[in-house]
């Protein structure tokens, strides 16, 4: 957050512009000229849309007098709050750890699996944090109209399990920035493979979704094309050879052509705590956020060699060619993050 003086606010705005990828130029030390994307609210039957806008920003009243028309950005000003809200909404990357009270986790475990409860008030446990990749997508369907649907997916970077609606769960949880200080499960799935698994999940979801929008777009296209053909046929008698008809027919095809665009909005490496309980029926892992209980594997049962560090150089030596969670938050290359993907509605394979 920005401090109270003009230099702190200016530095915050510059950092916000860099993070968001906006084009900007510093004019001496007084003025910043930036090109940002703003959302235009819906009007009557027009849906909301995005457009580019140029901002001229200054940070003290004296500079505002030297640049007529420039916008003064000060503490609690609407423009500063706009930058803060934009970062909260559109921040691309985050690294967070979920904090969970062991006593509350124990109560949830008893509720989920009363058959495993020992009957006592205290459960012996150990805690381990599992790295999850959070990706918030927007699935856009283009035809004569635009439909957009937000989809939030989380993938366990140790097992490949995928959970839909992940962000909604995290919004209700207690989070703190950074890496946990306790034991961390090894990340065994490279970033490229994680995105491939998420893409496959989305492709199946899109293929199974209602396709009425696609059929409606095709019907509207055929009706518009017939009207266009009839108009030029009656006008010239050779509509199929008329260059203007051909041009407008191509425009109609592009307007009504159904396509699906999957656009990642932001990402996060989230460490979720799992509690390992040993009962008379065996060892079980419990994730309180997802309220899931499963039998622990032999590798997950705590031992002298259990991992206490982020998978880094030691893990890379044992697993050459795989990306570690260290690479995701250290700025080192960890694979390409897709900006957008197109999925054809004509194929169920996406």
Judgement on whether residues 170 and 104 belong to the same structural domain of the protein: yes
Q: Is residue 219 part of a domain?
A: no
Residue 118: per-residue pLDDT: 54
Quick one: 35 and 112 in the same domain?
A: no
Count CB-CB contacts under 10 A for residue 348. Answer: 11
Query: What pLDDT score does 327 carry?
Result: 34
In the listed set 42, 69, 87, which residue is the last one of a domain according to the structure? Answer: 87
Q: What is the block-wise mean pLDDT of the chain (350 residues), using blocks of 10 residues?
A: 71 82 83 83 68 86 84 87 74 83 87 71 78 91 78 93 92 86 88 92 87 77 81 67 79 79 88 87 87 77 46 38 36 44 45
Q: What is the pLDDT of residue 129?
A: 93
| Residue 243 belongs to a domain | no
Which among 10, 7, 183, 162 is positioned nearest to 83, based on CA atoms? 10
CATH, residue 28: 3.30.360
CA dihedral (294, 295, 296, 298) positive or negative: negative
User: Does 304 lie in the same domain as 201?
Assistant: yes
Please check whether residues 60 and 140 belong to one and the same domain.
no
Cα separation, 191 vs 330, whole angstroms: 14
Residues 159 and 276 reside in one and the same domain: yes
Give me the domain span that covers residue 66.
6-87
Exposure of 301 by Cβ count < 10 A (0-12 exposed, 13-18 middle, 19+ buried)? middle
Judge if pTM exceeds 0.85.
no
Residues 79 and 105 in one domain: no
28, part of any domain: yes
Tell me whether residue 19 is in a domain. yes
Asked if residue 102 belongs to a domain, the reply is yes
Report pLDDT for 22: 80
55 and 184 share one domain = no
Residue 255: its pLDDT value, please? 76
Instruction: Work out the angle at residue 101's Cα, subtended by the Cα atoms of residues 95 and 105, and round it to the nearest 5 degrees.
Output: 105
Number of domain units in the chain: 2
Structural domain ending residue among the three candidates 61, 87, 113: 87
Domain co-membership, 185 together with 272: yes
Query: What is the predicted pLDDT for the residue at 312?
Result: 36
Q: What is the pLDDT of residue 75?
A: 84
Same domain, 203 and 337: yes
Q: Where are the alpha helices (DSSP H) in the chain?
A: 6-20, 61-66, 78-90, 102-112, 166-171, 191-207, 212-236, 243-256, 313-318, 325-330
Q: Are residues 132 and 203 in the same domain?
A: yes
CA distance 22 to 57: 14
Question: Residues 30, 130: one domain?
Answer: no
Structural domain includes residue 350 = no
Question: Does residue 215 belong to any structural domain of this protein?
Answer: no
Same domain, 187 and 270: yes
Residue 319 lies in a domain: yes
Integer Cα distance of 294 and 303 in angstroms: 19
Which one of 41, 64, 87 terminates a domain? Answer: 87
Query: Computed from CA positions of residues 226, 230, 233, 235, in that sequence, does the dihedral angle turn out positive or negative?
Result: negative
């Amino acid at each position: 957050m920005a401090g109270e003086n003009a230099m702190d606010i200016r530095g915050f705005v510059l950092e916000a512009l860099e993070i968001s990828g906006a084009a900007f130029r510093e004019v001496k030390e007084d003025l910043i000229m930036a090109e940002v994307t703003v959302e235009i609210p819906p009007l009557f039957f027009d849906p909301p849309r995005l457009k580019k806008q140029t901002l001229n920003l200054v940070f003290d009243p004296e500079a505002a007098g030297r640049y007529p028309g420039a916008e003064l950005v000060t503490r609690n000003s609407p423009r500063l709050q706009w930058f803060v809200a934009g970062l909260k909404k559109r921040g691309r990357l985050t690294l967070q750890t979920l904090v969970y009270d062991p006593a509350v986790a124990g109560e949830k475990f008893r509720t989920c699996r009363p058959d495993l409860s020992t009957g006592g008030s205290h459960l012996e446990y150990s805690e381990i944090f599992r790295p999850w990749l959070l990706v918030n997508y927007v699935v856009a369907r283009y035809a004569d109209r635009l439909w957009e649907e937000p989809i939030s997916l989380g993938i366990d970077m140790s097992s490949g399990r995928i959970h839909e609606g992940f962000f909604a769960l995290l919004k209700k949880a207690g989070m703190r920035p950074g890496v946990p200080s306790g034991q961390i499960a090894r990340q065994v799935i490279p970033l490229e493979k994680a995105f491939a698994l998420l893409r496959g999940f989305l492709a199946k979801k899109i293929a199974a979704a209602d396709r009425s929008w696609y059929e409606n777009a095709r019907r509207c296209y055929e009706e518009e094309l017939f009207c266009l053909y009839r108009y030029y046929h009656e006008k010239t008698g050779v509509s199929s050879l008329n260059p203007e008809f051909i041009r407008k027919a191509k425009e109609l095809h592009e307007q009504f052509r159904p396509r699906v665009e999957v656009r990642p909005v932001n990402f996060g490496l989230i460490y979720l705590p799992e509690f390992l309980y040993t009962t008379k029926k065996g060892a079980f892992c419990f994730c309180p956020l997802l309220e899931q209980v499963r039998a622990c594997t032999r590798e997950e049962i705590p031992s002298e060699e259990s991992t206490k560090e982020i998978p880094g150089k030691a893990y890379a030596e044992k697993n050459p060619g795989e990306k570690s969670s260290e690479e995701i938050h250290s700025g080192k290359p960890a694979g390409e993050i897709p900006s957008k993907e197109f999925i054809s509605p004509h194929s169920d394979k996406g």
